Amino acid sequence: MSQSILFLAHIDESGGMLPKVAFEVFGAALDMAAQSGGDITIGLFGNDVQAAADSLASSGLRVLAVSEPELAHPRYATDATAVEAICREAAAQIIVGPATSRLLRVIAGVAHRLQGQADTHITSIDLTDGAFTAKRWFYRQRLEATIQRAARPWFLVMDAGCHEAWKGALATANVQRVAAFLTSNLQRTTFAGVRVPNTAAQTIRPDAKLLFVAGAGWCKKQADGKTHLPEAERAILNFLHSSGASLGGSKSLVDQSGENQAVLGFMTHLNQVGQTGSTPRHPKGLSTCCHGEEPHVVGWRFINERRAINLDPNCGWARGKADVLYVADAFEVITKLNALFAVKEEKRSPAVPA
Ligand SMILES: Cc1cc2nc3c(=O)[nH]c(=O)nc-3n(C[C@H](O)[C@H](O)[C@H](O)COP(=O)(O)OP(=O)(O)OC[C@H]3O[C@@H](n4cnc5c(N)ncnc54)[C@H](O)[C@@H]3O)c2cc1C
């Protein structure tokens, strides 16, 4: 049975374009349409969607949009009204969108208004025996569920890093505007500003090739009987700067800052990886001064290649949880790596003699 699909996305408030995850989910939606032979429509919302629509135009698909200044910032009431209007106009059976906080906030409400059902944190969608089957993980990525639903419309919100991003040339999109009544009654919530954690450096980089994880060992007394926090901070920040890696932390390390112990100043709870932290997706991971206990390692579920540096040859990583374990002092290894990066940088842009 062919099933009509709506690919739903919003523009990134800061740049006016689609976020990277939208291109990934667009690729997944096109695969779904190719498998089922169903129609596919693009639905966009934001204050000015033309540039975003142009970035998808070479797909040749119909574009519906609510493009209004009232959508310059996320707000439940106006976003839900815009999404509802697009969904009603498209009248699709399956609606697929990227897992951004903006879309996740409204999707359950819109599904309710349209008497449909919604599933989130989807990692793949395939056609099996004529029916779409979505997958997601539960219990911190330990159980994988396979979901089919008879309800329509069925809203599926897909996580980042689960499908290759669609790439196409820029073209001019013919955007079909959809009317949505974004009345003043829907605008009682006003946008005040963005607050970010008080860190000197932007350390969480979801698109980085490498996840660099620091554990509590960086703050422990070392062979000389002393802690070396300034050296640890310098080594880690230099490494992040040179490698472009994203920074993760073990629970023990991030908890220490909450307990007012001396810690790495740039590490917050947002960096925590694991059962009670995040489960990022990166091609490679390097764990340093972290023991590799199970509640921590479940956060590495989607790291393809795992390496660890630990002084202890019997640490948790040594028990099959890392592909490669370097039994070494992380201070020495990272300092050496930073020196190699500096040499590489010097070769790329040699200093001009005075
Ligand atoms: C319900 C529950 C949920 C949890 N959720 C999480 C979670 O989400 N994320 C998480 O991380 N933890 C979680 N934990 C805690 C977890 O079990 C561990 O306690 C924690 O991960 C340990 O952190 P760590 O490895 O940084 O510290 P430690 O266990 O103290 O290990 C420090 C390591 O550093 C090494 N080291 C010291 N100096 C050096 C050096 N110079 N070079 C190399 N290595 C060095 C030591 O050999 C040691 O192995 C959870 C626990 C529970 C009970």
Q: Is the CB of 216 under 6 A from ligand 1?
A: yes
* Domain locations along the chain: 5-186, 210-348
Q: Is the CB of 315 under 6 A from ligand 1?
A: yes
CB atoms within 10 A of CB 82: 28
The per-residue pLDDT for 201 is 63
Domain 210-348 has CATH 2.40.160.60: no
The angle at the Cα of 281, spanning 93 to 121, to the nearest 5 degrees, equals: 30
The per-residue pLDDT for 346 is 86
Which ranges constitute the DSSP H helices of 217-326? 229-243, 251-258, 294-297
Cβ–Cβ < 8 Å for 106, 206: no
Q: How far apart (Å, rounded) are the C-alpha atoms in residues 155 and 96?
A: 6
Q: Which amino acid is at 182?
A: L
In CATH, the number for domain 5-186 is 3.40.50.620
Q: How far apart (Å, rounded) are the C-alpha atoms in residues 113 and 278?
A: 31
**Residues in the chain with pLDDT values less than 50:** none
Cβ–Cβ < 8 Å for 5, 94: yes
Q: How far apart (Å, rounded) are the C-alpha atoms in residues 321 and 56?
A: 41
pLDDT digits (tens, 9 = 90+) for 101-134: 999 999 999 999 999 999 999 999 999 999 999 9
Q: How far apart (Å, rounded) are the C-alpha atoms in residues 144 and 138?
A: 6
pTM for this one? 0.81
121 Cα–ligand 1 center, Å: 27
CB atoms within 10 A of CB 205: 16
Q: Is the CB of 330 under 6 A from ligand 1?
A: yes
pLDDT digits (tens, 9 = 90+) for 46-81: 999 999 999 999 999 999 999 999 999 999 999 999
Q: Is the CB of 220 under 6 A from ligand 1?
A: yes
pLDDT digits (tens, 9 = 90+) for 209-236: 999 999 999 999 999 999 999 999 999 9
The per-residue pLDDT for 202 is 80
Q: Please identify, by atom number, the ligand 1 atom nearest to the C-alpha of residue 331.
A: 41
| DSSP-assigned letter for residue 148 | -
Q: Is the CB of 290 under 6 A from ligand 1?
A: yes
5-186 and 210-348 in the same fold: yes
